[in-house]
Chain A
Amino acid sequence: MSSKVLMAAKGLEIRFGGVVAADDVNIEIHEGHNLAIIGPNGAGKTTFLNICTGYLKPHRGSVTFDGRDVTGLAPRRLVRMGVARAFQIPQLFTEHTVIENLLIAAAAQARRWSPLTPIATIPERGEMLHLLDMVRCAHIADRPVSELPEGQRKLIDIALALALKPKLLFMDEPTSGVASSEKFEVLDIIAKALAEAKVTAVFVEHDIGIVERFADEVAVWNRGEVLFRGVPGEILSHPDVIRDVIGETV
């Protein structure tokens, strides 16, 4: 691992009531290496994403991004530094159309606040249509997102994160809700878009096939701890991982 460390978590600890959701989590995220996080339900994977993106503040420990301490910064501050997120349950503006969702993201990214210019006319419009094209959603640009099936909402959710031109993207189960026959296709689309935008991705995933194919590294979570990490080939064949994680989730 010679590439630059993009984000580093040191000694993260958080508990909810009596449940330990993060217990001395230490992990580094390297630029250009897509990291997959696997582990059983309740292992603290989403909590880790919540801490890294500022939704939760750890009780102990620190998060650094690009060498700066960002522990406890609000999501919007991290976003402005280049950390974006896609969600397990797509977080969209359900009373807006697909293109409007993206235009809001683009306007936020480009800091366009002029109160009298219609959002439809901002210069980033072309870029956003291109982004939609990339995630194969150009044909539904003018549909209200509330009418879309879950799979497409998932893609729009990721496109919203990409519209922010992040350096680092966290994705929480990008293929959940997508029919298993389409999973690879969907992730192919996403991977291509990520590569084109030169974004490092961290994603939580249950599907081992997808992890094998798309991750450069894998980290295994359990009970708030990182048990193993390494290249997919090694980790996924480790007997403890097969017993404790893969056995449960497949």
Chain B
Amino acid sequence: MRSILPALIVLLVAVTPVLAPTSQVLLTLAFAKGLAVLGIIVLLQAGQVSFGHALYFAVSAYVAASVARSFGGELVTTLLAGVAAAAVVGLVVGVFVVRYRYIFFAMLNLAVSMIFFALLEKFYYVTGGSDGLQVPRPTVVGLTLERGEFETILFYGALVLSLLAAWGTHRYLASPLGNMLRAIKTNEVRLEYLGVSARSTLLSGYVLSAALCGLGGALMAVAQGIVTPEYAYWVRSGEFVFIAILGGSGSVAGAFVGALIYEGVRTYAAAFASDIWQMVLGIVLLVIIIFGPSGVTGLYQRLMDRLVGPARPRGAGDSERAPGAAE
């Protein structure tokens, strides 16, 4: 019962290119952001919030852009190169930041991302400065495509990648490792006393979240055709956290639900209230936090609980609901 609506939404999204072709690119961008938000949600499971994950988004986007520019660029290799770069940088930065928690964790991530942002602007001859780098359209299995065809392929690619990433992350969070990650939020001391290194556990989650942000960034780069330092700015990191809370930080679905709603609100706010689109977004955020801190997916769970009764007692075997789904 409670999976009917999600299934319907996925179906509806999947036929978008036929029904509403003009929203196809918007949805691709929403998927790209959703993937990055998924990375934020992984960290939120450990009770940590990063105000600098735009770093991985940007690292991957710039690497993808460079690969597409210098090697002619096949879509798959472009995306893979970006994700790999984000994961490697995530590992290096992660080793350092997993020693910190809460505000310090958030601030250090912010600092590292701002350094990268400044470097992108400084190393003008490599990065194109604030004008950014153009990303030539990659080939797909060797074929050079027109924009329309490419965008359709990218849309379905993004949809499949998002579903895969959501499934993988869901499994990860349900696995022993994922449960240990969530245990960091409630009791690190006990985790250490079970023989588990909280830092290594957090590091594994951190690298995963960096890779997810990277996947989002690389997708965004090829979908947009340009990468700019704005990809790394702190406001974008804040936006990711914003979307995570909007969608519901407790479930992997929240990342994509949030991203779709956010892009929608933002686009229409920018179109019909171009003077006050920031204010509109700010108010939406306030309303969500104060009246439904578990986000849209949390509201949906509550609604379904009321309509068809509680899912069933929470247990370790509960695979239908996302782990740690906000109550």
Whether A and B touch (Cβ < 8 Å) is answered with yes
| CB-CB nearest in chain A for B168 | A116
Q: Mark B193-207, 1 if CB is under 8 A from A, else 0.
A: 111110000001000
A-B contacts, CB under 8 A, total = 120
**A92: CB under 8 A from chain B?**
yes
Contact A116 to B175, CB < 8 A, known contacts A91-B189, A95-B182: yes
Tell me the B179-195 residues at the A interface (CB within 8 Å). 179-180, 182-183, 185-187, 189-195
Let me know if A113 and B174 touch, CB within 8 A: no
Chain B nearest CB: distance from A171 CB in Å? Answer: 12
**A80: CB under 8 A from chain B?**
yes
Let me know if B176 and A112 touch, CB within 8 A: yes
Chain A nearest CB: distance from B259 CB in Å? Answer: 24
User: For residue A119, which residues in chain B have a CB less than 8 angstroms away from its CB?
Assistant: 174-176, 178-179, 316
User: For residue A120, which residues in chain B have a CB less than 8 angstroms away from its CB?
Assistant: 174, 315-319
Let me know if B196 and A108 touch, CB within 8 A: yes
Contact A96 to B176, CB < 8 A, known contacts A79-B194, A108-B195, A118-B319: no
**A67: CB under 8 A from chain B?**
no
We find that the number of chain A residues with CB closer than 8 angstroms to chain B is: 43
Contact A76 to B192, CB < 8 A, known contacts A104-B179, A116-B171, A119-B179: yes
Let me know if A160 and B316 touch, CB within 8 A: no
Q: Which of A94, A95, A99, A108 contacts B315 (CB 8 A)?
A: A99
**B314: CB under 8 A from chain A?**
yes
Let me know if B315 and A79 touch, CB within 8 A: no
Q: Mark B160-183, 1 if CB is under 8 A from A, else 0.
A: 000000001001101111111011
Let me know if B183 and A118 touch, CB within 8 A: no
Let me know if A117 and B195 touch, CB within 8 A: no
User: For residue B316, which residues in chain A have a CB less than 8 angstroms away from its CB?
Assistant: 97, 99-100, 103, 118-120, 125, 142
Contact A103 to B195, CB < 8 A, known contacts A92-B190, A93-B190, A115-B172: no
Chain B facing A: main interface SS: helix
**A47: CB under 8 A from chain B?**
no
Let me know if A144 and B314 touch, CB within 8 A: yes
**B142: CB under 8 A from chain A?**
no
**A75: CB under 8 A from chain B?**
yes
Let me know if A94 and B175 touch, CB within 8 A: no
User: For residue B179, which residues in chain A have a CB less than 8 angstroms away from its CB?
Assistant: 96, 100, 103-104, 107, 119
Contact A76 to B197, CB < 8 A, known contacts A93-B186, A96-B183, A97-B316: yes
User: For residue B204, which residues in chain A have a CB less than 8 angstroms away from its CB?
Assistant: 115
User: For residue A22, which residues in chain B have a CB less than 8 angstroms away from its CB?
Assistant: none
Q: Which residues of A contact B (CB under 8 A)?
A: 53, 55, 74-76, 79-80, 84-85, 87, 91-97, 99-100, 103-105, 107-109, 112-120, 122, 125, 141-144, 160-161, 164
3 closest A-B pairs (Cβ-Cβ)? A107-B176, A79-B195, A120-B316
Q: Which residues of B contact A (CB under 8 A)?
A: 168, 171-172, 174-180, 182-183, 185-187, 189-197, 204, 313-319, 324
Residue pairs across A and B with Cβ atoms less than 8 A apart, 17 shown, are: A92-B186, A93-B183, A93-B187, A93-B191, A95-B324, A97-B315, A103-B316, A104-B179, A105-B194, A107-B176, A107-B180, A108-B195, A116-B171, A117-B175, A118-B171, A119-B179, A120-B317
